[in-house]
Amino acid sequence: MNAKLFTQAITKFLSGLLIIGALLFIPAGTFRYPQAWLLICILFIPMFIAGLVMMAVNPELLRKRLNAKEKQDEQKTVILLSAIMFLAAFVIAGLSFRFGWLMLPMWVSYAAAAVFMIGYMLYAEVLRENTYLSRTVEVQEGQKIIDTGLYGIVRHPMYMSTLLIFLAMPLVLGSLFSFVIMLFYIPIIAKRIINEEQVLEEGLEGYRDYKHRVHWKVLPFIW
């Protein structure tokens, strides 16, 4: 086991857990926020298991996933907007619980948790299919077109999975206001995809032909 990589991964994992916990429980004014505990469980338990699997099976993929330093200025803007969106959504969810702002019934949280897990499973499949997958927009050395599996249905299955995950999050938290905030993820990833496809067309051989074969970007028959 790569000790340095393990330390980096576990540090980011615990940091993320503490930050999200603080963003939810401090505005809520209590730890007795069951929807928040539900989200933390379905978010961090699979994340921890996935990290262990990648560490054992494909540590290079884990290293890529931990690299969040964008080289494209346009993508740095996307990352900033995403961070603001998540910050606002989590804080508003906590405040909504504290003050009872249009809180949704618990069955909605459970249904959204099921959608969240479907998104997580799709995400895991994308990681399995695409060993070139990175958190940054780039063309890697030796990278080839992948057009099978989910990539034969949409060009950006990772965004398909994260769309399900991110839109399910505020519903798991029971906050309608938070859900409205998370809808801004749609134009954010639309902006990211435009720049990403420009980079891929310029640097990845065969990507233009792939775009002609697979018409849908994120959602089949919709987008």
pLDDT at 138: 57
* Residue 114: inside a domain: yes
pLDDT in tens, 169-197: 999 999 999 999 999 999 999 988 888 88
C-alpha distances in Å from residue 165, one per residue of 98, 100, 115, 169, 171: 24, 24, 7, 6, 10
Comparing CA positions, the residue from 142, 117, 120, 119 lying closest to residue 131 is 142
**76 touches 69 (CB < 8 A):** no
59: pLDDT strictly greater than 90:
no
**Burial (CB count within 10 angstroms: exposed 0-12, middle 13-18, buried 19+), residue 210:** middle
CA–CA distances in Å: residue 180 to residues 71, 177, 212, 221:
30, 5, 34, 24
Position with higher pLDDT, 196 vs 70:
196
Residue 117, domain member (yes or no): yes
Residue 218 lies in a domain: no
Q: What is the pTM assigned to this prediction?
A: 0.87
According to DSSP, the residues that pair with 175 across neighbouring strands are 103
Q: Taking a C-beta distance cutoff of 8 angstroms, is the pair 131, 54 a contact?
A: no
Domain presence at residue 223: no
Is 179:167 a contact under the CB 8 Å cutoff? yes
Q: What is the CATH number of the domain that holds 162?
A: 1.20.120.1630
Nearest to 173 by CA among 21, 47, 46, 48: 21
Question: Which domain, by its residues, includes 179?
Answer: 3-213
Closest CA to 73 of 213, 192, 210: 192
Domain count for the chain, please give it.
1
